[in-house]
């Protein structure tokens, strides 16, 4: 990562945060100039359970007009799901007091839209909490089954039996832990995935379950977020209309000064943002899974910057943006 990678806390102040961010871009060859963009995790960053964190509204107010419209390209990228993107956008709008649109939301299962091209006409079994069948149908899966459907149709049925053909399994969320409104982190879908893979191996004498993970820290949701941020930047007049086609060309850098990815889970949010490279900037907050002391960073997946909460993350990012714009005019 580099020697500039240190934790930034409220005790160090904005000057230290700005210094860390500036050094990152100074030591990154070919760093692009352009507007900033923001990608927010939800659980542990903006909310805990259904309680909106006090810093969340303060942070979003800095990025939206008084009328509730975004001033910058913004995405809400979460390993949560169980509802449609439209319903999650409505929830976020109500919680945060701003206008969140469908094209600003990437849920853990949003990348499953691409699977409908090859699996849309085949029977698909979906499992999970919430309106998973409704979500699947909206994505274009025409023959959706749930475990309840199977249990009602064939009460004695079992999901696997000897000699059955291999069925690929797609997990939308690899998170082992996530932050709800309980004081300690809770097990997520990643725990279920680990248990299912272990059981499959035991039942097949060491066989490997054919599976694929989507969701952070994997590439698919970040690719979707980049597309949505580009669309928003063009709609907001931050980038020319030709930018989308140019950015799609192989090897072209994204035309953002920085994409600030704010998260609370080092294994998902920070590892994923770090893997994307420039112009992604990982920002770790202490309001969720991670709760390190001032000056402390995660050892396994260190963030570019660590702050107390999402308001501190936005303030540091905007401060760096203002500083960069001022230097460009000198």
Q: Report the pLDDT value the prediction gives residue 2, as an integer from 0 to 100.
A: 34
pLDDT at 325: 56
Predicted local distance difference test score (pLDDT) of residue 326: 42
What is the chain's Cα-based Rg? Answer: 21
Query: What pLDDT is stored for residue 65 in this prediction?
Result: 93
- Whole-angstrom distance, CA of residue 213 vs CA of residue 79: 11
Q: pLDDT at position 24, please?
A: 60
Instruction: Give the model's pLDDT for residue 25.
Output: 54
Quote the pLDDT of residue 314: 96
* Residues 6+ positions from 224 with CB-CB distance below 8 Å: 106, 110, 111
- The series of mean pLDDT values per 10 residues for the chain, 330 residues long, is 42 56 54 84 93 95 93 96 96 95 96 94 90 96 89 67 64 75 75 84 79 90 95 94 72 89 96 96 95 90 96 93 56
pTM (two decimals): 0.82
pLDDT for 22: 57
Q: Where in the sequence of the chain do the CATH 3.40.50.1000 domains occur?
A: 14-105+218-328, 111-213
Could you confirm whether domain 14-105+218-328 is CATH 3.40.50.1000? Answer: yes
- Cβ–Cβ contacts within 10 Å for residue 137, how many? 16
Cis peptide before 135 (omega within 30 of 0): no
Q: What is the per-residue pLDDT for 324?
A: 65
Write down the pLDDT at residue 18: 57
Looking at residue 329, its pLDDT comes to 38
- Options 3.40.50.920, 3.40.50.1000, 3.50.50.60, 3.40.50.720; CATH for 111-213 is 3.40.50.1000
């Amino acid at each position: 990562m580099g020697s500039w990678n240190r934790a930034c806390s409220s005790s160090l102040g904005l000057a230290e945060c700005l210094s860390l961010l500036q050094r990152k871009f100074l030591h990154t060859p070919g760093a692009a100039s352009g507007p900033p963009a923001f990608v927010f995790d939800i659980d542990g960053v903006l909310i805990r359970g259904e309680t909106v964190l006090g810093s969340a509204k303060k942070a979003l107010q800095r990025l939206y007009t008084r009328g509730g419209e975004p001033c910058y390209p913004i995405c809400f990228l979460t390993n949560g799901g169980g509802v449609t993107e439209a319903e999650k956008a409505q929830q976020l709008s109500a919680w945060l007091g701003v206008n969140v649109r469908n094209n600003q939301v990437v849920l853990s299962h949003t990348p499953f839209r691409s699977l409908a091209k090859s699996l849309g006409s085949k029977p698909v079994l979906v499992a999970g909490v919430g309106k998973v069948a409704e979500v699947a149908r909206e994505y274009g899966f025409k023959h959706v089954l749930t475990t309840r459907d199977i249990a009602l149709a064939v009460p004695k049925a079992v999901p696997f039996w000897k000699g059955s053909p291999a069925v690929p399994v797609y997990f939308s969320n690899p998170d082992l832990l996530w932050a709800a409104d309980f004081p300690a982190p809770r097990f997520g879908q990643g725990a279920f995935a680990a248990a299912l893979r272990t059981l499959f191996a035991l039942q097949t004498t060491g066989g490997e379950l054919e599976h694929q993970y989507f969701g952070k820290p994997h590439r698919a949701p970040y690719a979707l977020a980049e597309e949505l941020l580009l669309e928003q930047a063009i709609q907001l007049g931050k980038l020319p209309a030709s930018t989308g086609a140019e950015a799609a060309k192989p090897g072209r850098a994204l035309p953002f000064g920085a994409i600030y990815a704010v998260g609370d889970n080092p294994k998902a949010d920070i590892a994923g943002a770090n893997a994307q490279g420039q112009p992604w900037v990982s920002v770790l907050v202490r309001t969720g899974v991670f709760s390190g002391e001032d000056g402390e960073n995660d050892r396994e997946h260190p963030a570019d910057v660590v702050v107390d909460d999402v308001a501190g993350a936005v303030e540091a990012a905007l401060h760096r943006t203002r500083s960069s714009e001022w230097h460009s005019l000198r």
